[in-house]
Amino acid sequence: MRLNKYRILQFGSILVFLSILFGLPAARAEQGDPRDMLIQTVNEALDILNGENYEGLSVDEKNERLLALVESRFSLNILIQRALGRNWRNLDDEQRTEFKQLFSKLVVQTYSDRLAEAGDRPEFEFAETIELPKQRLEIQSKVDYKDDTITVFYRLAKRDGKWEVYDILVEGVSLLNNYRKQFDSILRQGSVEELLKTLREKVAEF
Amino acid sequence: MLLCGILIFGAGCKTTTNNQASTAPSASFGENAGDEAWEEFEDEVAYTRHYDPFEGFNRAIFSFNDGLYDYVLGPVADGYKWVVPNGVRNGISNFFDNIRYPIRFVNQILQGKFAEGMKETGMFLVNTTYGVVGIFDRADEFPGLDVPPEDLGQTFGVWGIGNGPYIVIPVLGPSTARDIFGRAGDRFADPGSYLGYWQWEAAWSARGVDNLNALPGRVEVYEAITGSALDKYTAVKDGYLQLRKKQVEE
């Protein structure tokens, strides 16, 4: 198993090398099994959070790197839009851009905050990948978190050659649905501007 | 386009959005291309329905509970964690979990999950003997016996009874009409309630220890859910309803 994974990685690195050599910028997003890509991303994220090489960085700097890392491999566009659902239509271009920036920041901050709080480098164990209808995938993982084992499922879909992470389920609870209900509730009582203000304050809290 | 707004799932609209997406530049950050793509994923939303007719009242109790967490329960949990080592806390929590075996067993049988009931019994026997009256949880060594816990609220759900209104209970937190009845019914299968008939002091102190010991875990879960929330009340409500839905389904 270990050997097998190593060989896949080796093969992958040759591919990456070749694509750089022949200048195929699109190939990076195209190549690779999404599960391998996710495992690698999670490992690199844990390096940023707990690794020795990053010890001097502030929390803000770490989170910035995490977001850059995630965005270089995956797209969060669908996740962000779905969090607003029907309300997405009520945002103008400028508001959409700001919402995207703030919400993706919030998701990454939440994730890193949890992992940093878990103390030592948490153990991730990636189990099976389930194929959902319409060529969507659910990549299942378990994390040893404090004294418990928590399931984290990532739902992915390929759009325009890039893998979208369109939902994350923690212990079966959809992060997306949880945020959508919150945004729905806030927008029922207030304006888009108020929602953005709440988001700005929340992001600044970390 | 306006029509598309009204008919979210309309087949005619779907092709429009698809065309739009494919002609749009790649969906990279900062651009707002492919902006209606989320609609393709609406078939996935089969999530929770929030029936909350007492929202005003619930929100009031929620903010009381929230303050209680911040100013009382949180500090108490921290103090308890500081005094009682982790291993002891786990032992106490395992002990009480093991003793509540009849609740899980009865509900497994009520849901027709006979194989699970047998496994639960096996787990109870293993933990009671090899696990030293339940202080050690041997589930890791016997993964075959480890089955999801059931309670009466879940049993009602399996029988097709809906949640009913969402209700926030003072101190205890989120629940629904169905789960409140379930909780009350589960008392009949709880050995702790029978202990109360002949030694109520022992029963109450046991309950006190159980609750105090479970507090750090509850505070942690509460903080995890509300820490990243923009509307704490809705985040906890949805988290609770989603979790219960999943528990009923499994």
- Among the partner-chain residues A84, A167, A173, the one whose CB lies closest to the CB of B243 is A173
Binary contact (A159, B37; C-beta < 8 A): yes
A186 contacts chain B (CB < 8 A): yes
Q: Could you give the C-alpha distances from B17 to A83, A156, B1, B6, B36, in angstroms and in order?
A: 18, 20, 10, 14, 7
Q: What is the pLDDT of residue A24?
A: 45
**B5: chain A residues, CB-CB within 8 Å:** 89
Q: What is the mean pLDDT of residues B20-26?
A: 36
Chain B residue with Cα closest to A78: B38
Please tell me the predicted confidence (pLDDT) of residue B21: 37
Residue B231 clears pLDDT 50, i.e. is over it: yes
Angle at the Cα of B163 (from B158 to B169), degrees rounded to 5? 125
Whether A115 shows a pLDDT value over 90: the answer reads no
Name the residue of chain A whose CA is nearest to B31's CA: A97
Structure token pair of residue B134 = 């339940």
Q: If we measure between CA atoms, which residue out of B166, B165, B164, B173 comes closest to residue B62?
A: B173
Cβ pairs bridging A and B (under 8 Å): 107
**pTM for the model:** 0.81
Residue B72 lies in a domain: yes
* Binary contact (B26, A71; C-beta < 8 A): no
Angle B200-227/B74-83 helices, nearest 10 degrees?
Answer: 110
Asked if A140 has any chain B CB less than 8 Å from its own CB, the reply is no
Q: Do A166 and A155 touch, CB atoms closer than 8 A?
A: yes
- Torsion angle (degrees, nearest 10) of CA B227, B231, B232, B234: -130
Looking at residues B37-64, what average pLDDT do you find? 85
CB contacts, 8 Å: A181 with chain B: 48, 50, 234-235, 237-238
Contacts of B230 in chain A (CB under 8 A): 179, 182-183, 186, 195, 198-199, 202
Q: Which of B18-22, B67-71, B108-112, B157-161 has the lowest mean pLDDT?
A: B18-22
Q: What is the domain extent for residue B151?
A: 54-249
Averaged pLDDT of chain B: 85
Cβ pair B227:A96 closer than 8 A: no
Q: How confident is the model at residue A124 (pLDDT cuts 50, 70, 90)?
A: confident
Minimal Cα–Cα distance from A100 to chain B, Å?
A: 8
**Band of pLDDT at residue B1, cut at 50, 70 and 90:** very low
| pLDDT digits 0-9 by tens, A180-190 | 999 999 999 89
Per-residue pLDDT reduced to its tens digit, A54-69: 878 888 888 899 999 9
Angstrom distance (rounded) from CA A170 to CA A174: 7
- Residue A10: how many CB atoms within 10 A of its CB? 10
Q: Does A182 touch chain B (CB under 8 A)?
A: yes
Nearest CA in chain B to A198: B230
Higher-scoring residue by pLDDT: A135, B46: A135
pLDDT band at B168, cuts 50/70/90? Answer: very high
Looking at chain A from residue 51 to 80, which residues have their Cβ under 8 Å from any Cβ of chain B?
71, 75, 77-78
pLDDT tens figures, B88-109: 999 999 999 999 999 999 999 9
Write out chain A residues lying below 8 Å of B19, CB-based.
none
Mean pLDDT across the stretch B8-31? 36
* DSSP-derived 3-state class of residue B150: coil
- Our CA-based measurement puts residue A45 at a distance from the nearest CA of chain B, in whole angstroms, of 19
Using a CB-CB cut-off of 8 Å, the residues of chain B touching A127 are: none
Kindly report, residue by residue over A3-56, the tens digit of the pLDDT. 455 555 566 666 556 555 544 444 444 456 888 989 999 889 888 888 777 878
- pLDDT-based confidence at residue B41 (cuts at 50, 70, 90): confident
- How far apart, in whole angstroms, are the C-alpha atoms of residue A45 and residue A122? 11
Question: Whose structure tokens read 């026997």?
Answer: B125
Residue B207 falls within a domain, yes or no? yes
Looking at chain A from residue 85 to 104, which residues have their Cβ under 8 Å from any Cβ of chain B? 85-86, 88-89, 93, 96-97, 100
Contact A173 B86 (CB under 8 A): no
Cα separation, A31 vs B198, whole angstroms = 69
Nearest Cα residue in chain B from A201: B230
Residues B50, A181: C-beta atoms closer than 8 Å: yes
Q: Token pair 């103390």 is at which residue?
A: A119
Torsion sign (Cα): B74, B79, B85, B90: negative
Q: What share of chain B is helix, strand, coil (3-state, %, to 5)?
A: 70, 5, 30
Sketch the domain layout of chain A as residue ranges.
5-121+177-205
pLDDT of residue A30: 47
pLDDT at A107 over 80: yes
Residue in chain B closest to A107 (alpha carbons) equals B228
pLDDT at B99: 95
Total tally of structural domains belonging to chain B: 1
Q: Please give the pLDDT value at position A4.
A: 55
- SS3 assignment, position B83: helix
Q: How open is the CA angle B36-B37-B38, to the nearest 5 degrees?
A: 90
Cβ-defined contact of B246 to A186 (cutoff 8 Å): no
Computed on alpha carbons and rounded to an integer, the radius of gyration of chain A in Å comes to 18
Chain B residues whose C-beta sits inside 8 Å of any chain A C-beta = 5, 8, 21-22, 26-30, 32, 34-38, 41-45, 47-48, 50, 86, 90, 220, 224, 227-231, 233-235, 237-239, 242-243, 246
Pick B72 or B30 by higher pLDDT: B72
Residue A76's closest chain B neighbor by CA? B29
